[in-house]
Structures are given as structure tokens and as C-alpha cells.
Structure 1
Amino acid sequence: MVGGVDTHKLTHHAAALEAATGQVLGDREFPATAAGYAQMLKWMLAFGVLIKVGVEGTGSFGSGLQRHLESNQVLVVEVIRPNRQDRRARGKSDPIDAINAARAALSGTASTIPKGREGFVEAVRLIRATRRGAARARRVAIQQIHGVLWGAPEDLRERLAGYERAALVARCATLRPPAHFALDDPAVTARRMLRRLARRVQQLDEEIAEANDELNLILRQHTPTLLAAIGVGTEAAGQILTTAGENLDRLHSEAALARICGVAPIPASSGNTVRHRLHRGGDRAANSAIHMIVINRLRWHAPTRAYVAKRTAEGKTKKEIIRCLKRAVVRELYRALQADLEITLDSA
């Protein structure tokens, strides 16, 4: 039999199908807890041999269930959200979504192996996600400093004029209110808020620097080959790892990595015109990381510059050349990931 699960924050709804006929054997709701995962697996196994389970939301609400099933040697496939037109025609409910997930797994429509949630890649993902939030909050705090300055009293604004960003933050952090002041005094309040915002930026700077150090240590230990690739730094390596996942065998080739990174060319030929166009799907953050690798190589990597000159002479535009380079970079990154992750698995 084949299972399907519609995941939610507090509960998961499971369905079981007969593998030979696709007949619905049953559906049931379980709590989204460790005990609920065990009950769900026991319930599914009561129908017979469990071939695989299609799970929605393996990257969010279904991550715990995925770990439990995989720890019990159950094949898990990732099910994407159903087509909206089909959902309008058939309706929506938790049992319907669970049955559709099982049918997607049975038919092979859902065949993607989800990324593993155990290992150093998950640690990299969590650190990067937290650092991204800190960087966003830092940017907002700096914008607020400038906003307060624009409306601050003239003497304070003139005193802080001409400072660069880092110097302005350091200077605002040292501002002190008078010994005796009224909370409703706008001039004093402006000084206090500037100091508060500046100290927030300094705290976020420390948090971001700590996250960078942690990423450097993890990536140098586990992915030396990836970091050795030309133009690949900590940020790009972390993004590529997060997109690919630690279980790289779920990607059958470097073409699959190119597809999920959005750099696989899409045929756009018609009549006598044979060409390919930009692929706008895939992980756009990974696509951006690969784009920056190519831009860095265009600036100072001699073989890349020679390739650009050659392709330009053949009549290719700069955009087309960059697309070709991005595809070649993915091939190089895939081989580096293979080397690093195989070493990690062997050492584990």
C-alpha cells in the first residue's frame, strides 16, 4: 500500500491506498507529535506492506514526520501543492488532500526525495536563516536612524552630519541624555532613540559576525572542495548546500541541480530559429548565488574572460554568454558537492 499525508501545525491527516488498484483503504487524523507519528505509522502498516508515503510540506510542518518515517526505513516522497484548477473542481478538505498526496506518490507524479533534515547542512540552513533575519533587522534599524536624524533638532543634525554609516552608528551609540530630563521632551527623546537604535545595530553586528564565524568553521570542515572553486565564498557555498541538501543522491545528475537552481536552459525554438531562453523557475536565491560567482569570474578570471571573448566573436550576446557560464558553473559545483559530501558520509 501507499500512504499520503496532509500536514498541519497541530495535526496531520493520513490516507492509505491499495497499491495495485488505487482504492482508498482509509483515512485518519493524528496529532503532530512524536507519539502521533508512531501511531500513524502503525496505522498504515496495519493495511499491509508500506511501499512509500507522499508527504506535503516536508520543509515545514511535515519535517518531524519525515524524520520519523525515514528513521523507520520508510521511503518518503515530497508532494507539492495540488494544481489550483484541479482543487477548484474537486474541492478541498484534509481527507481529500491526504488522498491526493497518496495518489501523487502512487502515480509517480510526486517522485522527489525531500532534503535530509539531519546533518551539517541543516545546521548551515538554520544559521543562514537566522543571520538573514538579523541582517534585515540591522538594515531597518539603520534606516530608522536616518529617519530620526531628518526630523531631529538642527544642532543635533548638524553635529552628526558628514559621518559614514559605521562612524554614525558608533557616534550615536555614545549619545547621552542630560542628567535630568522629561520623557516628553522631543529633543532629548531624539538623542535617546538614536542611542537605542545604534546599540541595536551594534548588537546585530555582533550576532552577524558570530554567525559568519560559525559558517566559516562548518564549511571549511565539511566542504573544502566547494570553497576552493573559483569565485565561491561562504555565502554562495552555504546557499548551494542549502538548495542541494546533504542527501545529494536525490539529484540524479548535475542537470537536476541546474534545474532546481533555475539555470537549465529552456527550449524556445520556432520554425528555422533554434534558441533557448532563460528558465525563471527553481530556487532564485541559488540562482542569484551562481550569478554572482559568474560576475566575479568575469572581472578577474582569465579563462572566463577568454571564453567571453570567443563567444562574443561568435555573435552571442552578453546575457546568453552569462547563461552558458552559469550552466558550466553548476556542473563544477555539482562535482565539488559530490566530492565533499561523499567524504562527509564516509567519515560519518
Structure 2
Amino acid sequence: MAWAQSLGKEMRGFAIEGTGSYGASLTRHLQGAGQFVVEATRPRRDRMAHRNDGKSDTKDALRAAKALLAEELAVAPKQRDGDVEALGTLQVWRSAVKSRTSAINAMRAVLVTAPDRLRDQFRGATNVLIETVLPASPGNGLDASILRALRQLARRCKSLTEEIVEADEEIDRLVRRRAPQS
């Protein structure tokens, strides 16, 4: 705001690129200060005409400013403070599923290369079973290292499973509040 005011021109509004992502904080700040803010989208004809110009922040900013002054921009930033935004945030949190899958795959990889005696011992075992049954393994040998790795990966799976359940419960609560008929 201070920078824009220092230009000495009348402020008509702000065209912000990425109002729903990287520009979200600036958008909230400007709107909180009572400023008019629109998404800096480029009209289709503008994209076609400047396709070969390459990416240039300076050129993009100039185009956005001209489009704002010509009143060609009409996309209002989404409100970022309600249930829909909360659901989006929870979905990001719930992406722990990918981490859990990676931990399970790592356990499988450890077992695939483990000596037969260990591989046979854990054939068909679940992550929870491995975490609860497997004692901490003192020692420095291969078996001890494999057992420690399996135990730690199983603990990670258990923790991530708990996070996923918690996120799912929160998501379900928000969805029911937002769409009780569903």
C-alpha cells in the first residue's frame, strides 16, 4: 500500500495474480484496507497475441494494470475464510495418505531384501502388528538394523493413519455442516 501510494497516482484498485495462492496474503491485506482487488487474468486474445513474448513479470504487470484501468478484469478473488477454504486446508493435511503409502512401500522394500528367516517371519504381517510385536532390537548386525527400520516405519504408518482418521472426521464434520442433506 505504501509503495502504491508513493507513486503519487490515484489508486483505482489492484490486479493481483494468484489471489487464491501466492497472492492470497496480499489480497487479504489490500481488501482489509478497503481496496478494490481483482484477479489478474489475461483475456484469451491477449494470451494469443503475446504467446511468443515469453514469461516476463514486468510485461505481465503492465498488461494487468492496463486491463484493470480499462475495466477488462472482472474476476473477484474468492473469499478465503469460510468452510470451503477450511475443507481445502484439511485436504492438504489429509495428503498424509501419500506419506503413509511411502512408509508402507519402504517396509516392503526392507522385507524384500531381508534374509529369508526375517522375511518369512513377517510375511503377511500388518504394520500395526509389526509395530506392537517387534521389540526394540539392541545390537549392530543386519537383523537388528532391519528390525529397527521395520519398527520405525511401522510407527510412522500408525501415526499417519491416526492423522488421516482425524482429518477425515474433521472433513466429514465440515461437509455435514455445509451440506446437511448429503
Same fold, judged at TM 0.5 (above)? yes
Shift of 1:107: 4.3
Give the equivalent residue in structure 2 for 1:66: 27
Shift of 1:42: 3.3
Question: TM-score scaled to structure 1, two decimals?
Answer: 0.46
The match for 2:134 among 157, 166, 175 is 175
Q: Does 2:125 match 1:148?
A: no
Give the equivalent residue in structure 2 for 1:300: none
Query: Is 1:120–1:218's contact at 8 Å kept on the other side of the alignment?
Result: yes
Report the number of matched residues: 178
Code of the aligned partner of 2:89:
L
Query: CA 1:203/1:156 → structure 2, altered by over 3 Å: closer, same or farther?
Result: same
Match runs of 1:7-86 below 5 Å? 38-40=1-3, 42-43=5-6, 46-48=8-10, 50=12, 52-80=13-41, 83=47, 86=50
C-alpha separation in 2, matches of 1:129 and 1:142:
20
Match runs of 1:69-108 below 5 Å? 69-80=30-41, 83=47, 86=50, 88-89=52-53, 92=56, 94-107=57-70
Question: TM-score scaled to structure 2, two decimals?
Answer: 0.83
> Could you report, residue by residue, the CA deviation over 1:305-324 in whole angstroms, capped at 9, with x for unpaired residues?
xxxxxxxxxxxxxxxxxxxx
Code of the aligned partner of 1:112:
V
Shift of 1:208: 0.9
C-alpha separation in 2, matches of 1:136 and 1:211:
14
What is the SS of the residue equivalent to 1:114?
Answer: coil
Query: Is 2:38–2:75's contact at 8 Å kept on the other side of the alignment?
Result: yes
Q: Give unmatched runs, 5+ long, in structure 2.
A: none
Q: Give unmatched runs, 5+ long, in structure 1.
A: 1-37, 229-348
C-alpha separation in 2, matches of 1:73 and 1:224:
34
Q: Does 2:174 match 1:218?
A: yes
More strand by share: 1
Percent identity at matched positions?
A: 33
Give the equivalent residue in structure 1 for 2:119: 157
Query: CA 1:91/1:113 → structure 2, altered by over 3 Å: closer, same or farther?
Result: closer
Match runs of 1:1-348 below 5 Å? 38-40=1-3, 42-43=5-6, 46-48=8-10, 50=12, 52-80=13-41, 83=47, 86=50, 88-89=52-53, 92=56, 94-107=57-70, 109-132=72-95, 134-163=96-125, 168-173=126-131, 174-178=133-137, 180-182=138-140, 185-225=141-181, 228=182
C-alpha separation in 2, matches of 1:85 and 1:159:
66
Q: Give the number of the structure with larger relative contact order, counting CA–CA contacts within 8 Å between residues 6 or more apart.
A: 2
Shift of 1:47: 1.8
Shift of 1:148: 0.8
Query: Is 1:41–1:69's contact at 8 Å kept on the other side of the alignment?
Result: no
What is the SS of the residue equivalent to 1:224?
Answer: coil
C-alpha separation in 2, matches of 1:53 and 1:193:
53
Backbone CA RMSD of aligned residues: 2.5
C-alpha separation in 2, matches of 1:57 and 1:175:
49
> Could you report, residue by residue, the CA deviation over 1:60-80 in whole angstroms, capped at 9, with x for unpaired residues?
221111112222333322124
